[in-house]
Amino acid sequence: MFDWKNFEIHKNILSHVGPDLYQERWGQHHIDLRPRDLIRWTLLCKDDLGYLTLVDIAAVDRRNMPIRWNCNFEIVYVLFNMGTHQRINLHVHLNEGETIPSIVHHYSHAGWMEREQAELLGLNFDVKTPKLILSHAEKTIPLRKDAVLGKWSPYLPQELPKLRVNPNKSEAPYPEESWQWKTLGILSPETMGNFEWQLCFDPEHVVAARTTIGFHHRGLEKLMEGRHWLHVMQLADLFHAGSAPTYSTTWAKTLEEMLRLKLPERAQAIRIVLLELARIVEHLTVMHEMTVSIKKDESRLFLNGREKVFELFEKYCGHRQGFGVVRLGGVREDLPHGWVAEYQSIATLLQKSLRVTHNSLLGQHNFRSHLDSAGVNAQTVLQWGVGGPAMRASGLNFDLRKSQPFYFYQDIDFDVPVGIHGTSYDRYLIRYEEIHQSLRIVTQVLDNLPLGEVVNTNAQDIDALQTYFKDLHGSWHYSSLEAPNGETGFLLLCDGDATPYRLKIKSPSFTLTQALPEFVRGLRSDQLQVAIASLGIRKTELDR
């Protein structure tokens, strides 16, 4: 859990840079820097203070806000200490044309984050890389405040890499001369419609991979800028429709921490119930996709279980995926009469059905043979910033519900399942056990459901909230929670109005896709689809 004693120690260390450079807001450290100081502070935070995880990077065009240090742009690095559960935000202030030192040599997974901000805001890093999201012919810089968005330039397929060939024919050929690169498009079964994939086989097993994600971008972050926070609440549900309450709850949690709004205990309990039901839905969906990819008849049983949970959402709010249930300061409505009894019957049925299906799969030799290969160790997932079931399957015991418990997760008795080898089979087992743990959480919450209101009445006073938003002018805040596939969060910059000036969405699919070559190295072609399915990558979460 969050260690306030260590927080004060780090605060004392960091505050020596000066009151104009260090600030502490909402339990997080903030340091203002210039580009020349970034590497020095990165090494200090990582090597001396233990901030081993880079959570996210977000840049912003500040030309429509009061600027600091005569700089028009700002880029924020959010770092996380898994030991003390603290976060530090490094704010780098710069002008257009200045070069930003890359930190990819210190955090391997910073590569895609830097590429994303470079092309969306026109920033310059000292490491030149190809475009990640937009077409190579695209000239628009979409996240600039003066950008005019129109039709995107057509995407041009990338050429396959060329393999080395030994020019001396009298010598033995290079080993890679027998390798072969193949392109798998978004319509290929292996990619499940998420991205374009270039794979190199040796010739049976994968030895290298390159991923292109720039296909389906609605500009969701740009769309959310300038929208009222009520509109953002509705748009957030669309970011992952299969786990809808997760993102809207994260957005509400971000605002509530900044506005210091306290949720009624009953609202906290209902939100926990919704989050865990959304987790169950996503795990059942992933397990269905895994079994479908290897042509198992048990796949339909996971869909049947998911339908039962959808019925609970529909009886609560009228929407099968749980759209629109979260409100600032609480939830839309109380649990309807008879809903708890309905849950109890469905939970009992779901547990029995899952055990039967699980035992049936384990009794089939070819089920495990497709899944139990090419493991990923704990060092690799930590190096690439991977979270969620993919991280815990590799042996790391970390869950934000335990390390940074929100609402009253700290009072609930549940276990965090941990794997060993980091294979697709481990990820399947983690998801299976997490479903049972989520049912265990929901049962405890409903057995001890608090009385009272389901929304904070102060959150409904729009005029009063407008005054609070003015006090947050120029303030950054990052808030997150444990989503079904990893950490989900929002990094928000306020401009004194009830609209976000800059909103960066942290999604687990972005990190998982970047680390994909580590998860598929050594797999055969018939094992690729089930490996992708086990990670739970969603194309809507790859939207920027």
**Which residues, listed in sequence order, are joined to residue 502 by a DSSP beta bridge?**
493
Q: Does the pLDDT value for residue 432 go beyond 90? A: yes
Q: Does the pLDDT value for residue 162 go beyond 90? A: no
pLDDT the model gives residue 514? 94
Look up residue 370 and give its two tokens.
């497709």
Q: Does the pLDDT value for residue 147 go beyond 90? A: no
DSSP code of residue 433: H
Count other Cβ atoms within 10 Å, centred on residue 243.
27
More confident residue, 230 or 78: 78
Q: Does the pLDDT value for residue 278 go beyond 70? A: yes
For residue 174, what are the CA distances in angstroms to 169, 180, 182, 488?
11, 13, 19, 44
pLDDT the model gives residue 176? 81
Q: pLDDT tier at 37 (50, 70, 90 boundaries)?
A: very high
Q: Can you tell me the mean pLDDT for 495-503?
A: 85
pLDDT the model gives residue 215? 65
Distance CA(303)–CA(379), nearest Å, equals: 34
pLDDT the model gives residue 4? 65
Q: Are strands 86-94 and 28-33 parallel, antiparallel or unpaired?
A: parallel
Task: Tell me if 158 sits within 8 A of 212, measured CB to CB.
Answer: yes
| Least trusted range by pLDDT, from 23-32, 141-150, 247-256, 525-534 | 141-150
pLDDT the model gives residue 533? 93
Q: Does the pLDDT value for residue 464 go beyond 80? A: no
Strand (E) positions, 131-237? Answer: 180-184, 196-201, 206-212
pLDDT the model gives residue 222? 83
Distance CA(542)–CA(430), nearest Å, equals: 24
pTM of the model: 0.93
Look up residue 39 and give its two tokens.
């590497």
Q: In angstroms, how far is CA 229 from the centroid of its own chain?
A: 21
Distance CA(201)–CA(216), nearest Å, equals: 27
Q: Does the pLDDT value for residue 318 go beyond 90? A: no
Q: Can you tell me the mean pLDDT for 367-387?
A: 89
**Which residues, listed in sequence order, are joined to residue 486 by a DSSP beta bridge?**
483
User: 19 preceded by cis ω (within 30°)?
Assistant: no
Give the residue from 340, 541, 530 showing the smallest Cα distance to 443: 340
Residues 82-126 pLDDT 10s = 888 889 999 999 998 899 999 999 999 999 999 999 988 999 999
Give the residue from 326, 317, 319 showing the smallest Cα distance to 248: 326
Amino acid at 460: Q
Whole-number percent of the chain with pLDDT over 70: 97
pLDDT the model gives residue 337? 93
pLDDT the model gives residue 216? 64
